[in-house]
Amino acid sequence: MANTEVSLPTKNRILQTCVRLFLEKGYKKTTMSEILHQSGASNSSFQNLFQTKDGVLMELVGFMFSGQFDMARASVGNLPPVYVYAAETAIQLTLTELNENLREIYIVAYSQPKILEFIIRQTAKELHQIFGSYFPGLTEEDFYRLDIGSSGLMRSYMARACDEALTLEQKLHCFLLLSLGGYHVPREEAEQAIAFVDSLDIRQIAQQVLNELLRSLQLHFAFTLPRNDLGSGSC
């Protein structure tokens, strides 16, 4: 449905309500009745704009993933593409350790076929640019097929919360060794990229990225969220 002057404010109220509830309560525990009541939207308006709760998540994920590599570049500076990939994926994994409800949002996004398809298509464009030189002759469509596997790897590490048996640093090392190796990055170069990630205060950067993401969401969709300190994880 095209946004009209009437539907746009309603859409923004729904998105504001959903972002707040998803972060406060979790995606699965947020009910449609809560969304409608707290946003002041009618069921018919919601159906016309989003159809389902997954439709809201698709809208939010579309915005988030369209600029995630840009956010990583802004956070770590002008670096070789492999370093940007290492930093971006490390930031994404660390984001899921800041808040369990945020972890759930990512896991649900990586589990819903339509949303996952969007994520893989968006990521394949970046992967082609980053790793194309390691795979001469492969096209963006080839990287789309490769990312079907690497996205599953990302989801698995997201789903496993950090603890004494798997610290955040260990999680990032394991994921980057597997993913960079899978994209034919030479071991020495991969270890240099991992060492760069080790040199970062990745928890602080992830919190900054989350704050910037929330600020960008509010600007893009013209709403205001109450101040909400998501805190940091225990690992």
For 1-48, what is each residue's pLDDT tens digit? 444 445 888 999 999 999 999 999 999 999 999 999 999 999 999 999
The burial class, CB within 10 Å (0-12 / 13-18 / 19+), for 131 is: buried
Give residue 65's pLDDT band: very low, low, confident or very high (50, 70, 90).
confident
Min mean pLDDT across 141-155, 203-217, 218-232 is at 218-232
Please give the Cα distance from 173 to 175 (Å, whole number): 6
Backbone torsions φ then ψ of 202, nearest 5 degrees:
-65, -30
pLDDT score of 225: 81
